[in-house]
Amino acid sequence: MEKKILLTDCPDAKGLIAKITNICYKHQLNITRNNEFVDRDHGRFFMRTELNGIFNDETLLADLDDALPQYTKRRLVPAGRKRIVILVTKEAHALGDILMKCFEGALDVEIAAVIGNYDTLGKLVEKFDIPFHHVSHEGLSRPEHEAELMKVVDSYRPDYLVLAKFMRILTPSFVAAYPHKIINIHHSFLPSFIGANPYRQAFERGVKMIGATAHFVTDDLDEGPIIEQSVIHVNHAMSANDMARAGRDVEKSVLSRALQLVLDERVFVYGNKTVVFK
Amino acid sequence: MEKKILLTDCPDAKGLIAKITNICYKHQLNITRNNEFVDRDHGRFFMRTELNGIFNDETLLADLDDALPQYTKRRLVPAGRKRIVILVTKEAHALGDILMKCFEGALDVEIAAVIGNYDTLGKLVEKFDIPFHHVSHEGLSRPEHEAELMKVVDSYRPDYLVLAKFMRILTPSFVAAYPHKIINIHHSFLPSFIGANPYRQAFERGVKMIGATAHFVTDDLDEGPIIEQSVIHVNHAMSANDMARAGRDVEKSVLSRALQLVLDERVFVYGNKTVVFK
Amino acid sequence: MEKKILLTDCPDAKGLIAKITNICYKHQLNITRNNEFVDRDHGRFFMRTELNGIFNDETLLADLDDALPQYTKRRLVPAGRKRIVILVTKEAHALGDILMKCFEGALDVEIAAVIGNYDTLGKLVEKFDIPFHHVSHEGLSRPEHEAELMKVVDSYRPDYLVLAKFMRILTPSFVAAYPHKIINIHHSFLPSFIGANPYRQAFERGVKMIGATAHFVTDDLDEGPIIEQSVIHVNHAMSANDMARAGRDVEKSVLSRALQLVLDERVFVYGNKTVVFK
Amino acid sequence: MEKKILLTDCPDAKGLIAKITNICYKHQLNITRNNEFVDRDHGRFFMRTELNGIFNDETLLADLDDALPQYTKRRLVPAGRKRIVILVTKEAHALGDILMKCFEGALDVEIAAVIGNYDTLGKLVEKFDIPFHHVSHEGLSRPEHEAELMKVVDSYRPDYLVLAKFMRILTPSFVAAYPHKIINIHHSFLPSFIGANPYRQAFERGVKMIGATAHFVTDDLDEGPIIEQSVIHVNHAMSANDMARAGRDVEKSVLSRALQLVLDERVFVYGNKTVVFK
């Protein structure tokens, strides 16, 4: 008996759930969990189906392709461990939370490697017996640096890249190499305070709450599809530094939750939005 | 074209989603929203299906009964306006929020009547052109008082009874007359601070958050199936009265949200718990 | 025995708390609550002191003026009931919450009048025996309309103006007439989604939380000093309308809380920020 | 120039703030932050004063003792680094968060040692170059085991003991040795679900939110003064294990925040409650 997840993303039509679940039934697969959503504005149907049984992937997918509309995107993925590469700069908290969660078994993922454009976090990573690569950007053009990064990344063939406070802007060509595969944590409640130093911006504006946003990286800085957000209260007595410190706990927990959702195949991207089946 | 909601609650089995959605498809009904949940501990399957189309209730239900396991509970309910009767004592906030939400169209329900064991809130209710009945408990035994209440309640044939800070304990025989039809708001984060004066209890214990709980009423005081809960932060500078005042906003919004969920047929009760499809 | 609140806002210096509390002690006033804050960036000191006793305002203030630095702003205000005028357009929820809270005694304020640029909410207001003025903007230039509004407002001599979903932009000259006296509720988590239709903007952006912001009105639209903010979670299944509906509860509770804070003299404005002593 | 914190806990009286701040002023100390609270029920005054300057502790305290009422408890503590010993069993998350926060400088405390009644977490602790002591309870009576623990604890002379998911009940004599010095994290929103397996209890009860509580340890299990609490939403689809997993993030952040508050000398204990100056 295996466990797999069927992900269907197609134009909406009558009877889609019946068709898909029928095919699963015919294949003697047990549906242990099912979620659907129809975006009426765009006439798009999304379904995530957890299946248990003995799989013949080829015939199952063929049956689905026969039954479903044109322009259907469907994937059948084993419900197993995925592999990530983490990119960092100097701040430890977001990386540290993922390292610790893997260590204690709370996050079931293989951290293939961590890459830093500084070597600051090398010692931390090595404590957990995970390879750390220092790929400095100094003296390199942005494309040169990214070429170096890609060489290391690709050597690990990760399912996802996680930017755990990686403080470099990525070029469209880097992003294009990993479409919907790069998850970033931004230290503000987007779309507030895009760009540099959001805590300073929040402090200057005098907001009463600050937040963090995990999103897929696209060509537009801090404009990618949002996966998860959270906030905390702040007050006038807090400096920009106090806010940054308090914000770290939000950043790390939002990034970890977003990563878990992605790893569990609960996130569909369409347009510049996400469907997240919690 | 009509809109109805099919609610299925049955022993778990393979192919249930396929069977149900097939039957809907055969009846040319469009599924606009669907939620399922399987409670593995008890082997129980729950499904809520929003349907659009032209309904032949009898044949649809007959087809379902043929296909589904024994001991299935299924209901097909029109997605329409329901009727409630509200029971109150002296406090206005929970009642007021429902009155205002109905007035502004935020809550689509018919408030058939409000019954108070004091007449304190009569004037408020009458502002909204809703009948108010003062059914005093004074000089009556509990069964006598409840008999009076039931007479008024039953004259309106409501779908649900809402206890909007009704500060009387109901007897098992009253509760039995409206099974899973009585919604109460308790002014604590249950199971903390069961019984009288929960804000005083919270103050004495020195908690840092207080809350409110909406639940179905059963024979056991404050022990019924929980529908919705929420909390807010409090601190040492707040008296028990300050907590009570701050708590009112939580109470009213929890009750309104719970009521909305019940009216939308999103809540299944099983054992002493609820399945809530949000 | 009276209760008054002393509000001090002055350049920071050594010994300010000692000086102020000494003077209060000399005047045999009991401090029942005290809050201070020093903004180190701007060298500014803020203090709110709740006092009990028999007051000689003139000598007390003279003593304070002798002791405190130049450029001190200080006020001694009776801890009593204030008077507000509420401006509305068509939406009932924010107004309704204030009406209900006054009715039930949860908010201790005199609602002198409600003014609407439509007459939609007149019936609601009259239920609570409060004067409603319909001051239509139709056929009038903005300055003409505001002149009409000011005539009505000023006839009531309110302490504060509350914009409870008043959907008109105010001109600088109107705002200048009531400096730091106009409280607005904006239906987004500012500075996200400034301007029109923030729920639509939030929906388009695909955020996972929405919020509301109460702020003082200044010349710059939605840019005034923030008093209070709050948020709730939303998801992909919610339309812009669903978000608007869910957001109403946040809007009304944020506005009510902000109003309470202002009425309790807990809010200092400096620059474009607030100090809020909770 | 030094920074110290003056903590005053005394019977309430007129002029206390004036007296204390006067003495500070006379000693040419600058108050950089000040908080007071009066518990009217018990006539008790609490004040926390952050001071900057050159200190003569002896004369300062003597002056205060002259001026303040009988039965005053006052402490003048350097605003510096404190030392803790952490007790653990097998779960890593609460310990891991403290280790990581110290490593990254987010929590300014010296972890003198970690003691486990199992050796499970030894490897994690050693990654951070902190001594780990395995003090097994096997084959020992409770008093014998605690005697062993105390031997190790006392050898480090810590300011506080942190129970980071230490799953043993402590005897009154152990607790008495460290009065108001032992901080525990309980994995429920107390007073709900006291005792063993609170996530299982929460699951059985069908609550819609779960939480965590940091408190000082007293003789009564899970009944000590609460320092900090937080909650998250859960739903019917979560098993007791899912809740436990989701709860870990709450537990660790509540414990870290409580620890920070205690280390910053922001927490007074009186009776079975705390005053927390945030």
Q: Does residue B100 have a pLDDT over 90?
A: yes
Q: How large is the average pLDDT for residues D77-103? A: 96
Residue A200 has a CB neighbour count (10 Å cut-off) of 15
Return the pLDDT at A71.
87
Burial class (CB within 10 angstroms; exposed 0-12, middle 13-18, buried 19+) of B195: exposed
With bands split at pLDDT 50, 70 and 90, how would you rate the model's confidence at D180?
very high
Average of per-residue pLDDT across C217-229: 93
d(CA A234, CA A202): 10
**How far apart are alpha carbons D119 and D106 in whole angstroms?**
27
For D91, name the nearest residue in chain A, comparing CA atoms only. Answer: A104
Give catalytic status of residue D222 as yes or no.
yes
Q: What are phi and psi of B85, to 5 degrees?
A: -120, 135
A19-31 pLDDT, tens digit each: 999 999 999 999 9
Q: Give tens-digit pLDDT for B48-93.
A: 999 999 999 999 999 999 999 988 999 999 988 999 999 999 999 9
The fold adopted by the segment(s) B82-276 is Rossmann fold (3.40.50)
User: Which of A25, A41, A45, A63 is best to mutate for the B interface (most B CBs within 10 A)?
Assistant: A25
Q: What is the pLDDT of residues A207-227, one digit of tens each?
A: 999 999 999 999 988 899 999
pLDDT in tens, C145-200: 999 999 999 999 999 999 999 999 999 999 999 999 999 999 999 999 998 899 99
* Inter-chain residue contact D191 with B193, CB threshold 8 Å: yes
pLDDT at C2: 95
Percent of chain D with pLDDT strictly greater than 70: 100
Chain C positions contacting chain B at CB under 8 Å are 91-93, 96-97, 100-101, 103-104, 106, 124, 127-128, 245, 248-249, 253, 256
Report residue D8's pLDDT band, with 50, 70 and 90 as the boundaries. Answer: very high
Between C21, C32, C38, which is nearest D32 by CB? C38
- What span, in angstroms and rounded, lies between the C-alpha atoms of D112 and D107? 14
Average pLDDT score, chain C: 96
The H helix count followed by the E strand count for chain B is 8, 13
CB C118 within 8 A of CB C275: no
Instruction: Name the residue among A255, B207, A227 with its Cα closest to residue D249.
Output: A255
Residues C18, D15: C-beta atoms closer than 8 Å: no
Q: For the segment D231-244, what is each residue's pLDDT rounded down to a tens digit?
A: 999 999 999 999 99
Best interface-test mutation with C: which of D1, D34, D37, D209 has the largest number of C CBs within 10 A? D34
Q: What percent of chain B has pLDDT over 70?
A: 100
Bridging pattern class, strands D30-39 and C273-276: unpaired
Of A92, A101, A128, the CB nearest to D104: A92
Nearest CA in chain A to C41: A239
Would you say residue A139 has pLDDT above 90? Answer: yes
With CB atoms and an 8 Å threshold, state whether A96 touches D106.
no
Question: Who contacts A78 (Cβ-Cβ below 8 Å, separation ≥6)?
Answer: A2, A3, A4, A5
What number is the average pLDDT over the span B142-146? 97
Is it the case that residue C80 has pLDDT exceeding 90? no
Q: Determine whether the interchain pair A25/B14 forms a contact, defined as Cβ–Cβ distance below 8 Å.
A: yes
pLDDT of residue B16: 95
Å between A36 CA and nearest CA of chain B = 7
Residue B251 reports pLDDT greater than 90: yes
Which residue of chain D has the CA closest to B209? Answer: D229
pLDDT tens digits, one per residue of B159-204: 999 999 999 999 999 999 999 999 999 999 999 999 889 999 999 9
Q: State whether D272 and B205 contact (CB < 8 Å).
A: yes
DSSP 3-state of D148: helix
pLDDT at B115 over 90: yes
pTM of the model: 0.96
Tokens of A210: 């600050």
Q: What is the CATH code of the structural domain delimited by A2-78?
A: 3.30.70.260
Nearest 10 degrees: Cα torsion A275, A276, A277, B5: -40
Q: Could you report the per-residue pLDDT of A238-273, keeping only the tens digit for each?
A: 999 999 999 999 999 999 999 999 999 999 999 999
CA distances from C170 to A24, A112, C149, C167 (A): 60, 57, 11, 9
Tell me the domain boundaries of chain D: 2-78, 82-276
Question: Which residues of B are identified as catalytic?
Answer: 222
